[in-house]
Structure 1
């Protein structure tokens, strides 16, 4: 098996294993986290999606205000029955479709056997619950009330016997139990229960079905269809609750305020706020029936938020957010989901696995193709986009997983990076480390990516050749010991190589004190001429810094000459079949060497050909030096001196260029006297101008014949 095939199989296996692990039973504790995060993100992103007044369910809250308001203040709940009956009747008369009780009053004060006077307390208050029971019986007769009970253990928590009789026993009593995930979070609600061998709808299902006037239909697997709406549910016989964020999604009325409103018989208020609603009585106290739900990161400050009816009581509003909500809001949310048909849809196990596998595969590919930091950034961007997409889908009641893909992709990213470091890149790192001192990094990477050894041969490319040499190197070598000379050259060549490579150049070879570099190969570089020019300027700057700061250079100041030429060249592997180098070969290389040597005659530092100047553009300040023929070539060419970047050109340099250009123009027009004057302006400070001034004065005194050629032939290399 080829190594590349093996590596691909390993990366694919990593992605699949990580995806499978993320949806395995071991990851079950984090599975519900997706719902919690998406609920919070949707709330922060989209805010309140609908007017709370449009909520099908409303809550009558037994709250702190109710406990502090007369006549309820200081009285136990079982003595509130008459007032509860009064509020129940008022809400139903106001047009409520059905009322449910999330509170269970297990006993009646009429059954109290506590001694009181000469008899029992219960005997003394006989008939105390009459108004409440009459209200229950009247509502039960029209199917508009449902009491709650809590199943579990050997004995259920049920309403008092009198209440059960008033509502016709189990006909109007439904379970209040909720579904708790393995992490003790409520995210789902049971749809039905088995009581005495019969299927009984849950409180929320019963309230929604009576409000809709439809009978709930269950199939063999416990799936519910209500008024044509097939309720989705990943866990059998449950629905996934679609909680809104904040604290005002379900209109909430303080029981104390409604009692005062009922006493003053404000029927308009009850019709305005309760007509067509499902009313749920429940406790919202901080010490009773509090649950953590998938809304735990998106809760709000609770309180009596609906418009008030009476002024006899004072609202009590909490001043801080807590992560739990009152259990009554769980049932109210379920009722809203069933009536509005927006219960959450959760993908099944296969869909979750495929989504996790996709994210794990993308992370593994990024880790395989990119450097670790780049792969981590790509993974972060992928997760952000994935969460954004899941939030948008969640706004449409589709709960896509985010926790499982996050874990799967994170582990796949880490595992693939680890595999690369320990196994796959081991040989690559060894080869790169071993050959980095001999071959260009681009050559090594190309060889590794192709999984092929280098071969003889090359290709024609348009490149720029950079040739540099140290001025007077023979005299320097003669004065220094071999060890000192080697130390000096190593520092010089290292500094120049760093500059060249920082501009994208490839150092082809060192020939003694000379450096031969190529721009535009082996890596493509459309700006190879400009980059070579920048490298030349920076090499001059770097050498000046070495001469000033390095202890080795203080005793032996160095000067360099640089030649630059652009043109077609053959680049590739040259040599014998057993040993070869990656190099460049063409007349462009020879010309760059000649241009470097031309600096000796003109007393300049950097000379470039007219081809390079045309390709480099206007970002550089060039001075046309002359038109020359170099040794070994018959064709003449114009040569230019590189002075600076255009943006950094000084006024004195600009004057120098202008005077020289004027002199050169007169020279070529055979106006030698005027040429001598122009060159003479800078002759004292400029070697090329001094040379031309002397030549012009000689020709002014001894004019040449008609066959005079303004092109200088350089015989030295």
Structure 2
């Protein structure tokens, strides 16, 4: 995973901020509306309807296609239907409906017709035709249970006919039906107030809801609206965001033709059963009249008056309406009434909240795009997008409309911008530095250099490390038998195999000196178990060399190598001249590791470690003590040990050999040279250190040392 540098933090921050601010700007507000549309559809399709239609506070009575095809309405103009509409209105009011609203406007009366009919206009011959209708309007309005609709349109409003306005008491019982469409012509919110003359007037939905609760709405000085003490949430002033359900049956819908037939049947109980306590809206459900595209455009359903029937059978299956993106306008007002009465108006985060969400989404995407590979970043962002979308759909259940499209596009833009930054600047320089130094510096050193955002410089620090020295036994004699080209190929094969093992165990190859390898564990990368890692690398190098000796890669040469290990404080860092330096390690601990590598040739061993290294490996390995030696350049003796194998992997033969050697070493140090020689003699044929000690014991048995003798072997060379 990548790490941030100062300039990367600045670049990623700028990309995230710009992406978030751009996609949360007012110019892209239509995107917020699309979010509501998508979430409405997702919530409905994934989680189903929120409310049982039977609990809907409002119901709708519609003039539908069946009404136009049913006598006595078939073939007659709607202006001639007023008496029947008045009868149904009276029955609904008498059924104890809370209030009735008309989404249908009759701007003219058949009594006003100027069409000649005989020697007089048709209207004069039909004088009194609307009397029953007007009486029904007046009675319902007198009880406060009727609101007629009008459409405000500058100087030419569409209003009920004059006689209807008089019957309902003029403006006291007439409210505007106007809706509000966003710039993309989609209705997502509804105005709460209109100004008629110089007075603010509630919208049709707000008026119906107010009469249903029995309290007039209040418009506060700050422009907010309260209904029965509840402040209606409005991110856009003077509007309510509509919380549409999906499908087409969320508001119970009754056919006007069926209700008129029910009156002829005399079934008043049907009206009381279905309209008592309800807000009732009269409207149309037709293919071409009064249709609006709303935020449920992706979650509509086949329309129809599918509420319980009283007298007429429902239309046949062949009359099922197709699914359309638009819905009749009466359902907009019914949804608004339901939202107000349920206190379920959708809440929006507002400009500041939407900006914060967009910037947050862009920030997450930008950080992921910078830290991860492009493919992993895209998959991560897509996964997070799915989770956020699901969470937003659930939030819609609780009345919160979370922006979705804007933050999503902001995240995509931030991803693209961050990946572009990586390609143009950040990764380009990193790739150049890695290519430039890969063959000279350890990967860990390069990582530290890049993290520091500065080139390597002279300097170092004291670190606790384990130093690894190795050398090929008898290299000079082998080299004399090979051509230069073959020698180079052979050495490259050997060094590559050993280096791979060292680096796989966490070590850093400091340098190659001919056939020698100098490596360090615990720097530049921190490794608390550097001693254990170094011993593991040594054992694996020995095992790998045994395999290589049997392959054709070594051209028939069977070789042995010697490894010395020592742990301690050392100076590690960039050391050299001002123009040329190397990341290396220096200290007495390094010198001792070199001496231990050379000491192997005296004992015939392949790996030797100091007691300091052994003490830091815990019980990870099984060791045997070889001797105490005094190396050139040091006065104090050093205990040296040989790793037999990793814990749990020691064979019985190895264990027996080690036990015999330990017995002989104890006898030797106790000056019982004869017994020591006998012990060493039992394994001398298979164990070079035992053969060495056998000869030393025999020599001392033949010529015993003085009282100042100490069991320390002094090495004469390196």
Q: Give the shorter-chain TM-score range.
A: 0.7 to 0.9
State the shift of 1:153 in Å: 9.0
SS at match of 2:616: helix
Kindly indicate whether the alpha-carbon contact (under 8 Å) linking 1:659 and 1:682 is maintained by their aligned counterparts in 2: no
Distance in 1 of aligned mates of 2:77 and 2:487: 101
**CA 1:573–1:261 in 2, change beyond 3 Å: closer, same or farther?**
same
Kindly indicate whether the alpha-carbon contact (under 8 Å) linking 1:663 and 1:676 is maintained by their aligned counterparts in 2: no
Structure-2 residue corresponding to 1:657: 654
Q: Describe the superposition over 1:160-214 as per-residue Cα deviations: whole angstroms up to 9, x where unpaired.
A: 7776665566654444332222223221112344567765543212322322334
Structure-2 residue corresponding to 1:504: 506
SS at match of 1:521: coil
Distance in 2 of aligned mates of 1:12 and 1:52: 48
**CA 1:252–1:675 in 2, change beyond 3 Å: closer, same or farther?**
farther
Instruction: Choose 608-617 or 700-709, whichever is displaced more.
Output: 700-709
Distance in 2 of aligned mates of 1:702 and 1:70: 135
State the shift of 1:22 in Å: 1.9
**CA 1:69–1:679 in 2, change beyond 3 Å: closer, same or farther?**
farther
Say whether 1:35 aligns with 2:32: no
Structure-2 residue corresponding to 1:528: 530
**CA 1:658–1:140 in 2, change beyond 3 Å: closer, same or farther?**
same
**CA 1:599–1:149 in 2, change beyond 3 Å: closer, same or farther?**
farther
Instruction: Choose 150-159 or 208-217, whichever is displaced more.
Output: 150-159
Structure-2 residue corresponding to 1:631: 631
Distance in 2 of aligned mates of 1:55 and 1:125: 40
Q: Which runs of 5+ in 2 are unaligned?
A: none
Structure-2 residue corresponding to 1:667: 664
Kindly indicate whether the alpha-carbon contact (under 8 Å) linking 1:194 and 1:200 is maintained by their aligned counterparts in 2: yes
Instruction: Choose 161-170 or 108-117, whichever is displaced more.
Output: 108-117
RMSD, aligned CA? 5.0
Distance in 2 of aligned mates of 1:609 and 1:537: 15
State the shift of 1:513 in Å: 1.9
Structure-2 residue corresponding to 1:519: 521
Distance in 2 of aligned mates of 1:385 and 1:713: 71
**CA 1:207–1:518 in 2, change beyond 3 Å: closer, same or farther?**
same
Q: Describe the superposition over 1:473-512 as per-residue Cα deviations: whole angstroms up to 9, x where unpaired.
A: 3233223222332233334434433333333322211111
Kindly indicate whether the alpha-carbon contact (under 8 Å) linking 1:676 and 1:692 is maintained by their aligned counterparts in 2: no
Of 396, 401, 404, the match for 2:403: 401
Say whether 1:343 aligns with 2:352: no
SS at match of 1:565: strand
SS at match of 2:313: coil
**CA 1:287–1:458 in 2, change beyond 3 Å: closer, same or farther?**
same
Q: Describe the superposition over 1:311-356 as per-residue Cα deviations: whole angstroms up to 9, x where unpaired.
A: 8634879799765544333212211233344433434444544554
SS at match of 1:343: coil
Kindly indicate whether the alpha-carbon contact (under 8 Å) linking 2:608 and 2:640 is maintained by their aligned counterparts in 1: no
Q: Describe the superposition over 1:569-626 as per-residue Cα deviations: whole angstroms up to 9, x where unpaired.
A: 22223334554322112233233334444554565554444444443455x5534262
Distance in 2 of aligned mates of 1:677 and 1:327: 111
Structure-2 residue corresponding to 1:436: 438
Instruction: Choose 86-95 or 532-541, whichever is displaced more.
Output: 532-541
Distance in 2 of aligned mates of 1:690 and 1:556: 27
Distance in 2 of aligned mates of 1:642 and 1:152: 99
SS at match of 1:479: coil
Kindly indicate whether the alpha-carbon contact (under 8 Å) linking 1:20 and 1:353 is maintained by their aligned counterparts in 2: yes
**CA 1:566–1:36 in 2, change beyond 3 Å: closer, same or farther?**
farther
Instruction: Choose 21-30 or 504-513, whichever is displaced more.
Output: 21-30
Q: Describe the superposition over 1:233-258 as per-residue Cα deviations: whole angstroms up to 9, x where unpaired.
A: 34444322233456665444555665
Kindly indicate whether the alpha-carbon contact (under 8 Å) linking 2:306 and 2:314 is maintained by their aligned counterparts in 1: no
SS at match of 2:440: coil
**Residues 190-229 of structure 1: pairs in structure 2 closer than 5 A:** 190-193=191-194, 200-217=201-218, 224-229=225-230
Kindly indicate whether the alpha-carbon contact (under 8 Å) linking 2:465 and 2:568 is maintained by their aligned counterparts in 1: yes
Distance in 1 of aligned mates of 2:413 and 2:35: 18
Instruction: Choose 146-155 or 474-483, whichever is displaced more.
Output: 146-155
Kindly indicate whether the alpha-carbon contact (under 8 Å) linking 1:69 and 1:256 is maintained by their aligned counterparts in 2: no
Per the normalisation by structure 1, the TM-score is: 0.79
**CA 1:315–1:21 in 2, change beyond 3 Å: closer, same or farther?**
same
Structure-1 residue corresponding to 2:622: 622
Distance in 2 of aligned mates of 1:566 and 1:663: 28
Structure-1 residue corresponding to 2:93: 92
**CA 1:655–1:5 in 2, change beyond 3 Å: closer, same or farther?**
closer
Instruction: Choose 561-570 or 179-188, whichever is displaced more.
Output: 561-570
**Residues 118-267 of structure 1: pairs in structure 2 closer than 5 A:** 134-150=135-151, 167=168, 172-193=173-194, 200-217=201-218, 224-244=225-245, 249-253=250-254, 265-267=266-268
SS at match of 2:445: helix
Structure-2 residue corresponding to 1:473: 475
Kindly indicate whether the alpha-carbon contact (under 8 Å) linking 1:347 and 1:399 is maintained by their aligned counterparts in 2: yes
Kindly indicate whether the alpha-carbon contact (under 8 Å) linking 1:680 and 1:693 is maintained by their aligned counterparts in 2: no
Distance in 2 of aligned mates of 1:108 and 1:156: 17
Kindly indicate whether the alpha-carbon contact (under 8 Å) linking 1:677 and 1:693 is maintained by their aligned counterparts in 2: no
Instruction: Choose 267-276 or 388-397, whichever is displaced more.
Output: 388-397
Structure-2 residue corresponding to 1:276: 277
Of 468, 483, 486, the match for 1:484: 486
State the shift of 1:463 in Å: 1.6
Distance in 1 of aligned mates of 2:166 and 2:640: 114
Kindly indicate whether the alpha-carbon contact (under 8 Å) linking 2:205 and 2:337 is maintained by their aligned counterparts in 1: yes
Kindly indicate whether the alpha-carbon contact (under 8 Å) linking 2:270 and 2:310 is maintained by their aligned counterparts in 1: no
**CA 1:67–1:675 in 2, change beyond 3 Å: closer, same or farther?**
farther
**Residues 218-617 of structure 1: pairs in structure 2 closer than 5 A:** 224-244=225-245, 249-253=250-254, 265-283=266-284, 289-297=290-298, 308=308, 310=310, 313-314=313-314, 324-360=326-362, 364=366, 397-423=399-425, 426-450=428-452, 454-539=456-541, 552-554=553-555, 556=557, 559-600=560-601, 605-617=606-618
**CA 1:305–1:539 in 2, change beyond 3 Å: closer, same or farther?**
farther
Distance in 1 of aligned mates of 2:75 and 2:703: 129
Structure-2 residue corresponding to 1:56: 57
Q: Which runs of 5+ in 1 are unaligned?
A: none
Q: How many residue pairs get matched?
A: 704
**CA 1:53–1:534 in 2, change beyond 3 Å: closer, same or farther?**
farther
Distance in 1 of aligned mates of 2:675 and 2:81: 120
**CA 1:6–1:560 in 2, change beyond 3 Å: closer, same or farther?**
closer
Distance in 2 of aligned mates of 1:9 and 1:114: 79
State the shift of 1:521 in Å: 1.0
State the shift of 1:218 in Å: 5.1
SS at match of 1:32: helix
Kindly indicate whether the alpha-carbon contact (under 8 Å) linking 2:68 and 2:75 is maintained by their aligned counterparts in 1: no
Distance in 1 of aligned mates of 2:576 and 2:225: 81
**CA 1:681–1:667 in 2, change beyond 3 Å: closer, same or farther?**
closer
